[in-house]
Amino acid sequence: MKFFVDTAEIDAIAELNDLGMVDGVTTNPSLIMKSGRDILEVTKEICELVDGPVSAEVVAMDSDAMIAEGRKLAEIAENITVKVPLTWDGLKACKVLSGEGKMVNVTLCFSANQALLAAKAGATFISPFIGRLDDMALDGLELIDDIRTVYDNYGFETEILAASIRSVNHVLECARIGADVMTAPPNVIKALASHPLTDKGLAAFMADWEKTGQKIL
């Protein structure tokens, strides 16, 4: 499973990228606002840092304007993925932009039917939002499973990009189901390395080592 990091913070992306933990980056208007940076400037910097796809989201609501914004964003770098919402206008924009050879990430997906439409419109990625469904007492992971089944039934090449990841359990279950990609904030990716038994074992090793009075260096 590919790891995308969901942030526009350059330092956080660079740290994970240096460890080989970044296959791509996803941003959205909220993350751009949080970074306090100009969208074109920060997106260009991310694209220069990361080799994989970098999702940059349009903010227009009608298809013609989405297409124009998408073309503008795609000029930033070759690894830009234009991010459009899963609305009828978004699907129209997806069809045009993907037809021009641009990568397109269709976001804010909350049903397998929506995912089916996105695949037929030529989406490179479909972004189902797990955490937001869980917030409504629905099963976000069930949506990933449904989309995986539908896509496999018909051989769609659109990649399932599990989004709104809130926990390490989300990551594990998405990997079990077979999501192609997951995108998560840096803190969730780092939390994958944590386990209380690792901490307990390390503390015991260090206590025993101290008793030997030895040094390696």
Residue 33's identity, in one-letter code, is M
Q: How far apart, in whole angstroms, are the C-alpha atoms of residue 81 and residue 47?
A: 10
Establish whether 72 is a catalytic residue: no
- Residue 110 near residue 128 (C-beta atoms within 8 A): yes
Burial profile 44-73: b = 16 or more Cβ within 10 angstroms, e = fewer = bbbbeebebbbbbbbebeebeebbebbeeb
Q: How far apart, in whole angstroms, are the C-alpha atoms of residue 104 and residue 122?
A: 8
Which one from 34, 44, 72, 83 is the annotated catalytic residue?
83
Place of tokens 């695949």: 119
**Catalytically annotated residues:** 83
